[in-house]
Chains A and B, each alone.
Chain A
Amino acid sequence: MIEVGAFEGRVLVTARAVVGAIPWERALETLAAPCPRLTRMSPEALHLLDRTMAIGLPLTLARRGAWQRDRFLGDDGVPEPAARRGWERSPPPLELSRATSTWILALARGTPAWTGAEPPRTAGDELVLYLLCDALAPLARHVTETPWVPQLCALGTLAWLGHSDVLAGTRLSPPDDPARWAAWMAPPAARIAEALQPDLARRWVAIERAKRDVADPSQMVALGTAQEAVLGAWFDACERSGRRDLARFATNAAARLVARPVPAHAWAASLPAQATLASRQAARISAGAFLRALERPARWDREHRARRHFDDGYAAAQLLLRDFEALGPARLAHARSALAELERPPTAHAQAYTIGMENEP
């Protein structure tokens, strides 16, 4: 039994919330109490923090998708022989740098003592920022003055990939260094990207469905711009590295969104009819950012279909063809039709629709 001080307790509660061991709402009840003046950590408490992260991160990865049997391209570009669970592959790299403990301590202190964010240094740090994005909504409910938390999350590429909706609100831009995006394609960081595919698909479905409630045209434009940048950077990285299978989340999300023909209003139902036509049109075009991005996987699919059985990479192409089947030509046509409608000049007549979904997890 290790006894910890009041501040150390706050740190551990925060860490447990980050890895999903307890809900953020519960952690924030603890953090709502005044922070003790002594904010130092004993070696024992630091050890407990390390243990919490070391056990919690693989667990949360497993919960978020690594439990599913899935088949990816191996590190040599050849498809895995059979579908496997995440932990049956080589273990993901979950080393954390000093930056992670700095963030968790800052959160536990609860004060916006933010004098310059320490950027993520490892794939594990990036994963922590991704998970921290889940805290942004409860944080916004409990604490109003915490703009530094979304700003911190906006430092992570993975956080942008999964949470472009909340991070677009920071008015910051996604990281534009291609090397940072490419890092996810190479082993061993790719293990995290593989494990998170179902979670990313779930997030993109949620982001797209929430667009119908966006009433501020400038917010929609910010979101669309961020999505375009994020998906562009991710798809570029997938293409250059030959890991197109890591874009599976996008086609899976699209397959759920456009399972049936969906009118454009499902993406832009709340845009105000009294706003200027220029702002409404810009917002509608931005609302279609995700649908527009699907043209890249569609082009890949055409390339994969043209790969003959005696060509190099035939086996990989077959796996990628199966990936695209989730979307398929019929659903892609629904997406294109909705996009064409969004790109047409707006009219004042709005109707309420919901985006149809199948197999919602």
Chain B
Amino acid sequence: MSRVYTIAVSEKVRRVVHLTDQVGTRVDWLEILPPEEMAGLLARELAARGFSVADGRALRVEPDGVAIEVELATGRVVLGIAHDRAYEAEGARTGRSERRDDVALAKRLDRELRTALEDSIARERDEDQTELTQALEKRLAEVQPELDRVGTEVTKAALVAKARRLGEVRSVEEDPSTGAVRITVGL
């Protein structure tokens, strides 16, 4: 009479994954002044909005970890987010064999278990990646109107600067409903 042995394997998988996502957008303005002056106006406007300006770039990190980086010369904006996440999964598998030292069965069980654990980590990672992307998308939706306002303010500041070179600026009136700016210059 043959005996049946239970072969058990257990495994623990740990992975550290670098999750990242980014999206590009831009600040648009009218080229009223030379590029370097426009870049200076943009730097000033961004600094007033909490950006730190250095080496031709402005950077602001939001509370949710989204970094907003603006290239001052071109107006190119990159919103990026990155997180390192550690994942851990463990489990066990058992199989029955007539041999006590059934290495082939043990290897197969180990392989199946590893695949299952890796799959489980991959699913978790995909969910986290989706969450990360959604957070970035939400932040983009919030930041884009601000960037549009920045573009408008830079254009307005450039117009006023240009007007000052033409003569004495007597008044600057803005219609908040339309965003139209009226600059009166005494020549």
Contact = CB atoms under 8 A, between A and B. Distances in A.
A137 to B, nearest CB: 32
B129 A345 contact: no
Contacts of B23: 277-278, 281, 345-346
B133 A344 contact: no
Given A281-B24, A345-B24, A345-B144, A276 B129 contact: yes
B103 to A, nearest CB: 35
Interface in B133-155: 133, 136-137, 140-141, 144
B120 interface: no
A88 B130 CA distance: 61
Q: Is the interface of A mostly helix, strand, loop or mixed?
A: loop
A274 B24 contact: no
B130 A277 contact: no
Interface residues of B, number: 14
Contacts of A348: 137
B25 interface: yes
A274 B136 CA distance: 12
A275 B140 CA distance: 16
B22 A347 contact: no
Given A345-B140, A345-B144, A348-B137, A277 B22 contact: yes
Given A345-B140, A345-B144, A277 B133 contact: yes
A345 B25 contact: yes
A286 to B, nearest CB: 14
A268 B24 CA distance: 17
Nearest to B144: A345
Interface string A266-284: 0000000011111001000
Nearest to B25: A345
B21 interface: yes
A346 B22 CA distance: 11
Contact of A274 (B20, B130, B140, B141): B130
A284 B137 CA distance: 16
B22 A344 contact: no
A275 B21 CA distance: 10
A2 B137 CA distance: 70
B136 A277 contact: yes
Nearest to B77: A345
A278 B25 contact: no
A281 B137 CA distance: 12
Contacts of B144: 345
Contacts of B129: 276
B150 to A, nearest CB: 16
A344 B140 CA distance: 11
A277 B25 contact: no
Contact of A278 (B21, B130, B141): B21
Contacts of B130: 274
Given A274-B133, A278-B20, A345-B23, 14 more contacts: A274-B130, A276-B21, A276-B133, A277-B23, A277-B140, A278-B22, A281-B23, A344-B25, A345-B24, A345-B25, A345-B140, A346-B23, A347-B141, A348-B137
Interface of B: 20-25, 129-130, 133, 136-137, 140-141, 144
Interface of A: 274-278, 281, 344-348
20 contacts: A274-B130, A274-B133, A275-B133, A276-B133, A277-B21, A277-B23, A277-B133, A277-B136, A277-B137, A278-B20, A278-B22, A278-B23, A281-B23, A344-B25, A345-B23, A345-B24, A345-B25, A345-B144, A347-B137, A348-B137
What 5 A-B pairs have minimum CB-CB distances, sorted nearest first? Answer: A277-B23, A276-B21, A345-B25, A278-B22, A345-B23
